[in-house]
Amino acid sequence: MAMIAKQCPDIPVRVVDLNQARINQWNSDNLPVYEPGLDEVVKEARGRNLFFSTDVKNSIRESSIIFIAVNTPTKSFGVGAGRAANLEFIEKCARTIAECSSGHKIVVEKSTLPVRTAEAVKRILHSSANGATFDVLSNPEFLAEGTAVEDLLKPDRVLIGGESSAAIETLAKVYARWIPREKILTTNLWSSELSKLTANAFLAQRVSSINAISALCEATGADVDEVARAIGTDSRIGPKFLKASVGFGGSCFQKDILNLVYLCEHFGLKEVAQYWEQVVCMNDYQKRRFSSRIVRTMFNTVSDKKIAVLGFAFKKDTNDTRESAAIHVCRDLLDERAKLSIYDPRVPEDQIRNDLQLAFADALGEVSDKHKRLIEKNVTVHKSLLDATRDSHALAVLTEWDEFRSFDGKTVFDSMFRPAFLFDGRNVVNRQQLTEIGFEVHSIGRASETLL
């Protein structure tokens, strides 16, 4: 919305939320999300034609296009728990829109949704008692965190699905202010909804595919980065999204695939469901494999050993930790009674502690006192890499922050116990230089020196 406001100064954009604290943050100098370039975009438009408030009902009344951009997390209860999307917030939004609208409005699904959700949204909207009429469009978002501003400025495509060509054109005209027309694709509603889930499933599948190969590389002496380069030059495969890692994270990939799996099951497509579910299984395996490798390499015990965890966000250039591989690896290491000293340049300490607690929560979201004590006793969070790594037995790089590519290896090495292990879950450190200093470096998708 900030980008639309920036590019279209004559269009008033109102962003509303029920959460007053969150809106206050959007109105302050400390935006609630860290995203390169976003501060400037918000500053340019805020107060001019971009407004943040909790005045949901009046904003609906005054707007002609309404974007629904609420959470659609995986359902944690009832039918479809652990797989289906929780559409509670979508439904509440649709009901509020129906209640407050009069005249004609275009309602745009921006949240990622299961196929045919628009059907339910339409039925709720059409029950409006005020005689209002609606067109429902699907306009999924393809930006990635960390590069959001760039992705919004120059998207590969904008997708608009709908039944009314007049409504599609109204929205297309907004994007056409800065995006070439040929990049604005229009489809029917269901294709648009399904394309979003499919795009994320394909992207996650590529990561799981290269991660599967990374396990084979470690066993055989092949190098996964070399394999990725070799296959990526085939123009049919392409070089992007082939970086082997400790596992994909983020709020979308897992959630969207599980949602796809649930849909397939719902439509009786058991084999299709099983096919996509493997992408998530492989990702779980990759995270587990990484923590087991740490334990195995460190003489089968990390109990009471200090492991410096470098990076907690699910990728660089974001403070988002949702489904971060780091959470899973840290939980496994805490189970082994390791002492963790964690450093991430952007994620605050309370977020890290909260994530770790939830990693031990039971099905009802309760965390036992035993686990709370375990975290209290064994986790410290630091403000610099040097503080986190001092007196450690091993380093584990879990996010590919730029500063981990070129830290002062000699100083870190001198402060560590021997052997000084380094487990690179992102293949970003300068392996050769650090090995020369004396580190024992273990990379994803590369056999250890002994096998080589």
Q: What are the catalytic residues?
A: 252
Distance CA 85, CA 259 (A): 6
Query: Which residue of 105, 315, 328, 371 would you call a contact of ligand UGA, by CB under 6 A?
Result: 315
Q: Does 203 sit near ligand UGA (CB under 6 A)?
A: yes
Distance CA 353, CA 330 (A): 11
What is the per-residue binding string for ligand UGA in 98-127, x denoting contact by CB under 6 A?
A: --------------x---------------
Burial class (CB in 10 A: 0-12, 13-18, 19+), 263: buried
Ranges of beta strands (E only) in 276-382 are 306-310, 339-343, 379-382
Shortest CA distance to 65 belongs to which of 153, 159, 137, 124? 137
Query: Which residue of 161, 249, 409, 445 would you call a contact of ligand UGA, by CB under 6 A?
Result: 249
Q: Does 241 sit near ligand UGA (CB under 6 A)?
A: yes
Angle at which helices 117-126 and 88-100 cross, to 10°: 30
| Selected range binding ligand UGA among 213-221, 245-253, 260-268, 378-386, rule: CB under 6 A | 245-253
Query: Which residue of 114, 161, 250, 311 would you call a contact of ligand UGA, by CB under 6 A?
Result: 250
Tokens in use for 343?
A: 């450093």
| Selected range binding ligand UGA among 12-20, 235-243, 268-276, 300-308, rule: CB under 6 A | 235-243
365-397 CB burial, b ≥16 within 10 A, e <16: eeeeeebeebbeebbebbeebeebbbebbbbbb
**What does R_g of the chain's alpha carbons equal in angstroms?**
24
Residues that bind ligand UGA (rule: CB under 6 A) add up to a total of: 20
**Which CB sits closer to ligand UGA, 67 or 253?**
253
Q: Does 200 sit near ligand UGA (CB under 6 A)?
A: yes
| Selected range binding ligand UGA among 13-21, 115-123, 143-151, 298-306, rule: CB under 6 A | 143-151
Shortest CA distance to 325 belongs to which of 259, 244, 257? 244
| Selected range binding ligand UGA among 137-145, 187-195, 293-301, 379-387, rule: CB under 6 A | 137-145
Are 360 and 367 within 8 A, CB to CB?
yes
Q: Does 314 sit near ligand UGA (CB under 6 A)?
A: yes
List interacting residues with ligand UGA (CB under 6 A): 112, 141-145, 200, 203, 207, 241-243, 245, 248-250, 252-253, 314-315
